[in-house]
Structure 1
Amino acid sequence: MTTRLLPGRHRRRLAALAAALVTLAGLLVHAAAGASAAVPPTPSGWSLVWSDDFTGPSGSAPSAEWIVGTGHAYPGGPAGWGTGEIQNYTGNPANLSLDGSGNLRITPQRASSGEWTSARIETRRADFKPADGRVLRIEGRIQMPNVTGDAALGYWPAFWALGAPYRGDYWNWPGIGEFDIMENVNGLNAVWGVLHCGVNPGGPCQETNGLGASRACPGSTCQSAFHTYRFEWDRSVSPNQLRWYVDGQQFHSVSQAQLDAGTWTAMTGHAGYFLLLNVAMGGAFPNGVAGFGTPTAATVPGRPMLVDYVAVWQSGGAGPTPTPTVTPGGVDARSTIQAESFQAQSGTMVEGTTDTGGGQNVGGVSGGDWLRFDGVDFGSEAARQVKVRVASGAAAGVSGLVQVRLDSLGAAPVGDLAVASTGGWQSWRTVPANIAPVTGRHTVYLTFSSGQPADFVNVNWFTFSTS
């Protein structure tokens, strides 16, 4: 949860979407907040590392497993917690307490003087890290503050993790790594997942933005109901993978192959990570999305973030190991390969689609972005054509190429197809293109090229055929 603005193209699209999202939220049937639930049973093939289900009397503090942050900064650390947020963090029960029904409440308040207060806690443990060959799963069931529109301006709830070396230093960010499992700003129906790493500004994680993606919460809005937010650090595959999920649906991933060895080692070679929960007010992220300073006079205090549980599991417990996403036989190139099933990506986002069958599509795609699909099996009979399901609401004169590359981003395309406006971002058509003959098993990259900086295409699925 660090100083960050959205990349320009996503910020522009988000501004256009914000009003629609608020309108949609008003049309949805707002389910009552789900009753608290115990930490889910440990899945077969996994072991429980640590958990807290926030059971305790109403008004009591969270357990001693947590450290309560106070004030406007770590001692000797950057002001405003390094993000420009304005609130004063306290341990006052009005800001931080259990609700007596199995939830933690973090509640921003505004005093008569105008001062904002809120709460921030972090685990004492700072060694959350998967063993070699294992997968670490960090999960929380959370309802974001139930406030939207102008009343939500400046709200910045988050569930995240920081590298252990940050404790006591406070000036080694982002090299030590940060995993933002859930972030939200200004009451929008969206969850952001972000990786921070390397150097600031710039570097391989494009700081201060980080490598991120966002999507709407499935079903009920993020604000009106509990949702489960999960992050996985997978050391069972090579290259290693980082993955983000909401309600079990993956919406973001980063591969070790996207980062240089020094950056990856600095982020992963230390003792591990500690977990944080907080609700900030104001700062670079909500201000950047709003386009002006937040909170404002219209912002309403007293809307809590509710946390039902936080749990950490590791694969490799008793029982069989989890089934990998890509089976040993690979993904059949002649099947319908969903765009959102990528193993890694850069610059895109996942969103709901109105195309036949529903589900999701990859959007926010502009020149220089890419998607990676591992283990695509073309078999012994050469594929000579690709068909891609695309939609575009790009402005007149904005177009680009969808290119197919094999095994390396630097490889020459085996084929490509041109895309211009189809009449809307959810106006779908299937576009075929010839490719050089391909047999065997490959990593497939969809890369995107355009002479303009604007988004030019959404992708729902693709498939290969012999003719």
Structure 2
Amino acid sequence: MSTITRRTPLLAGLAAVGLMAALMAPGEARGDVPPAPGWTLQWSDDFNGPARSLPSASNWQIDTGHNYPGGPGNWGTGEIQNYTSSPDNLSLDGNGNLRITPLRDGAGNWTSGRIETKRADFKAPAGGTLAIEGRIQMPNVTGEQALGYWPAFWALGAPYRGNYWNWPGIGEFDVMENVNGINSVWGVLHCGVNPGGPCNETNGIGASRACPGASCQSAFHTYRFEWDRAASPNVLRWYVDGQLYHSVDQNRVGAEAWNNMTNHAGYFILLNVAMGGAFPDGVAGRATPVAATVPGRAMAVDYVAVWTRGGGGGDPGPGTPSSLHLRQGGTLGPAAGSAAATTLASAGGANHDGTPHSPQTFTATGVDGTYSGGSTEFDLLVDAGTSVANGQQVRVSYDRTGDGSWERTETYQYFATDPVPGYERYTQARGLKSATGSHGAMTGGTVRVEVWNAIGNGPSTIGTGNQSVVRIPYGPGAAR
């Protein structure tokens, strides 16, 4: 599901994560996320909850309107619907599924739903593999009545958030796309520059095939994407019901484009059903939707899950030693428990820019590792509720031997939150305010993260547990 107008577009044994799903009849009802021997589950949602409730606010954020603030109009694709947070367009069905339902009002205006994961750090560990998988039934509509339907399950590079004009360089992995009710799944990679470039933008590098057995529209199927950094060259793979139908390796796109789409914080996942736009219009050969297009046919999502396998750390990514989540109790380490929040004390109207004031402190001890030559990265979920003129600030300190001396301290520019409830993302892109000392090898070292309100008159919160994360430029190493 590209963010810029476009497009037309080895089975190596059943993948372990998709094994159970692939062995099931495609339309068979299922419950929780399936087990995956040999893989580590990093994140999932099986959409259990009361009928007409919204998807978990801990896991997902809801996109609304016709574009991101300041981003390309019509989401950059020419699609015509207005995304809403109405349960009529977006809700759980009470039977373990998320349903995204396009609707048309009496004036001919279309509405639908689009969500994206709050986490944006899904990345293959160094020397390992990332898998993103969902079990989905496409909208059950075909022929003239389906013209304009564009369901998608996809992922965008984290640097897109807050920028919205750096596509396709930051990377896009389309795990599943479909248009116009055709019995086919498309898997597409977007990268490089637009137009043209190594990924042939705006089309991308794609492949498609019919769903195995029952059609894509009439039954659930399992759609899976793998990013394999254990293979040489590294490779991306697309599966439907465990059957490989598309792959792209790093040699095909070249070192620069591959590095730009992989050497950042990671990816976030999206689910949506668009109406109209460049892809369905191009396939149909005319503008869509049409008068015969019927509303009310939902995409149903049974689960979405992210796993990793292998890898020795040293690269930021879910669960790797250099990816340290802010955890309840003031520790840093792998994501622990479910989403939670910690309160940051009010600045009391004073200016504490650059100087910690009643900070929340998170620490990892016993850290061993070699400096990679990179920089600290962080992705903090912060919120000041309805308070105005609040700003959160972070300081990251490194004690290379654990003896209480801080050889490297980095203070970043504070982040001014808006007065609208809901988490915002504070990242290293705000820039360094000051830095002292230097990095070097860590042996039994300590990493400390302090977060406080630098300005404002009200308290705020920071996401913890499996939410906020700091990535240190060290590896291999471990926080004990």
TM-score band by shorter chain is 0.5 to 0.7
How far 1:36 moved relative to its partner?
A: 3.5
For 1:54, the equivalent position in structure 2 comes to: 47
Q: Is the 8 A contact 1:36 1:103 kept in 2?
A: no
How far 1:261 moved relative to its partner?
A: 1.1
For 2:300, the equivalent position in structure 1 comes to: 306
For 1:129, the equivalent position in structure 2 comes to: 123
Look up the SS of the partner of 1:237 in the other structure.
Answer: coil
Considering only aligned residues, what root-mean-square deviation do their CA atoms show, in Å?
1.4
Query: 5+ residue gaps in structure 1?
Result: 8-30, 318-467
Superposition map of 1:26-425 within 5 A: 33-43=27-37, 45-64=38-57, 65-316=59-310
How far 1:316 moved relative to its partner?
A: 2.6
How far 1:37 moved relative to its partner?
A: 2.4
Superposition map of 1:16-27 within 5 A: none
Q: Give me the TM-score of the superposition, normalised by structure 1.
A: 0.62
Amino acid at match of 2:242: G
For 1:4, the equivalent position in structure 2 comes to: 6
Amino acid at match of 1:289: V
Q: Is the 8 A contact 2:129 2:227 kept in 1?
A: yes
Identity value in percent:
75
Amino acid at match of 1:5: R
Query: 5+ residue gaps in structure 2?
Result: 10-24, 312-480
Provide the C-alpha distance between the structure 1 equivalents of 2:26 and 2:268, rounded to a whole number of angstroms: 32
1:424-457 Cα shifts (integer Å, max 9, x gaps): xxxxxxxxxxxxxxxxxxxxxxxxxxxxxxxxxx
Amino acid at match of 2:228: D
1:91-110 Cα shifts (integer Å, max 9, x gaps): 10000000000000000000
Provide the C-alpha distance between the structure 2 equivalents of 1:301 and 1:34, rounded to a whole number of angstroms: 25
Amino acid at match of 2:91: S
Provide the C-alpha distance between the structure 1 equivalents of 2:245 and 2:56, rounded to a whole number of angstroms: 32
1:284-338 Cα shifts (integer Å, max 9, x gaps): 0000000000000000000000000000010139xxxxxxxxxxxxxxxxxxxxx
1:314-367 Cα shifts (integer Å, max 9, x gaps): 0139xxxxxxxxxxxxxxxxxxxxxxxxxxxxxxxxxxxxxxxxxxxxxxxxxx
How far 1:271 moved relative to its partner?
A: 0.3
Detail structure 1 runs of 4+ shifted over 6 Å in the superposition: none
Look up the SS of the partner of 1:150 in the other structure.
Answer: helix
For residues 168 and 301 of structure 1, do their structure 2 counterparts lie closer, same or farther at Cα, with a shift above 3 Å needed? Answer: same
Provide the C-alpha distance between the structure 1 equivalents of 2:108 and 2:224, rounded to a whole number of angstroms: 35
Amino acid at match of 2:45: D
How far 1:33 moved relative to its partner?
A: 4.6
Look up the SS of the partner of 2:174 in the other structure.
Answer: strand
1:130-184 Cα shifts (integer Å, max 9, x gaps): 1101000000000000000000000000000000000000000000000000000
Look up the SS of the partner of 2:257 in the other structure.
Answer: helix
Q: When the two structures are aligned, how many residues end up with a matched partner?
A: 294
Q: Is the 8 A contact 1:153 1:296 kept in 2?
A: yes
Q: Is the 8 A contact 1:135 1:234 kept in 2?
A: yes
Provide the C-alpha distance between the structure 2 equivalents of 1:153 and 1:264, rounded to a whole number of angstroms: 35
Provide the C-alpha distance between the structure 2 equivalents of 1:198 and 1:217, rounded to a whole number of angstroms: 29
How far 1:231 moved relative to its partner?
A: 0.1
Q: Is the 8 A contact 1:136 1:312 kept in 2?
A: yes
Provide the C-alpha distance between the structure 1 equivalents of 2:270 and 2:218, rounded to a whole number of angstroms: 22
Q: Is the 8 A contact 1:32 1:224 kept in 2?
A: no
Amino acid at match of 2:55: P
Amino acid at match of 1:134: G
For 2:331, the equivalent position in structure 1 comes to: none
Amino acid at match of 2:39: W
